[in-house]
């Protein structure tokens, strides 16, 4: 069986992605194996589709990860004519159930309830601090920032993506109650941080 591969390594440009998709469409009985890039570029109906190794996404500490999975599955569902197969060790996860049924309304309710339980937006305001550099150096710097911002609490965790030139990335998350931002004292402290510290209010992702 002819297999066409679609990912950032084998198809690094939009032109290469479109060329690979066209070759797949011109080859009956072939398989298109791809990452999430496929969802953004592929718009043709196919008889069958399958999603594998999806559970790794569920382990990512990002409050929008369920939305990302739901959107991807919903797009694949719309493209699949006969059968969509989802491989998972967590079939009880409601995201899969709502996506399989195309149930957007109940997914939104479920997602909001989950966010409220863990105090994620829109039930809080998040501020994300990021530092890139050598691992030990940025860990020490983030600890200094944590002390400097006290009594405001900050949760520190490593990035799931590598920085430039082999550097490490470290993030810190400040979670504020709704209505408490802007905070004059906190804003003053954030503005006094060195330029090497990236400050992002209401980040789209924690990754």
**pLDDT per residue over 15-29, tens digit each?**
999 999 999 999 999
Q: Does residue 160 have a pLDDT over 80?
A: no
Q: Does residue 30 have a pLDDT over 80?
A: yes
Residue 190 belongs to what H/E stretch? helix 184-191
3/160 Cα distance (integer angstroms): 29
pTM: 0.76
**pLDDT per residue over 52-86, tens digit each?**
888 888 877 788 889 989 999 999 999 999 999 99
Give the confidence band of 205 by pLDDT, cuts at 50, 70, 90: confident
Give the confidence band of 162 by pLDDT, cuts at 50, 70, 90: low
Can you give the pLDDT at residue 19? 95
Half-sphere exposure of 203 (CA within 13 A, CB side): 19
Can you give the pLDDT at residue 161? 65
Average pLDDT over the chain, rounded to an integer: 90
Can you give the pLDDT at residue 168? 86
Give the confidence band of 40 by pLDDT, cuts at 50, 70, 90: confident
Axis-axis angle for helices 184-191, 135-149 (nearest 10): 150
**pLDDT per residue over 102-156, tens digit each?**
999 999 999 999 899 888 899 999 999 999 988 889 999 999 999 999 999 999 8
203/91 Cα distance (integer angstroms): 30
């Amino acid at each position: 069986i002819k297999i066409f591969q679609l990912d950032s390594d084998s198809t690094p440009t939009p032109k290469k992605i479109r060329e690979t998709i066209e070759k797949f469409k011109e080859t009956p009985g072939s398989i298109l194996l791809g990452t999430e890039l496929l969802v953004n570029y592929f718009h043709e109906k196919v008889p069958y589709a399958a999603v594998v190794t999806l559970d790794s996404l569920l382990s990512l500490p990002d409050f929008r990860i369920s939305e990302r999975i739901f959107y991807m599955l919903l797009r694949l569902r719309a493209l699949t004519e006969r059968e969509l197969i989802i491989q998972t060790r967590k079939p009880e996860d409601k995201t899969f159930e709502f996506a399989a049924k195309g149930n957007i309304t109940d997914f939104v309710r479920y997602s909001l309830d989950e966010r409220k339980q863990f105090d994620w937006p829109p039930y809080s305001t998040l501020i994300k601090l990021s530092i890139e550099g050598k691992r030990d150096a940025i860990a020490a710097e983030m600890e200094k920032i944590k002390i400097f911002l006290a009594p405001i609490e900050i949760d520190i965790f490593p990035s799931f993506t590598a920085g430039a030139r082999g550097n490490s990335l470290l993030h810190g998350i400040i979670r504020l109650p709704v209505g408490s931002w802007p905070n004059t004292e906190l804003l003053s402290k954030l503005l006094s941080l060195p330029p090497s510290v990236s400050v992002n209010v209401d980040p789209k992702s924690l990754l």
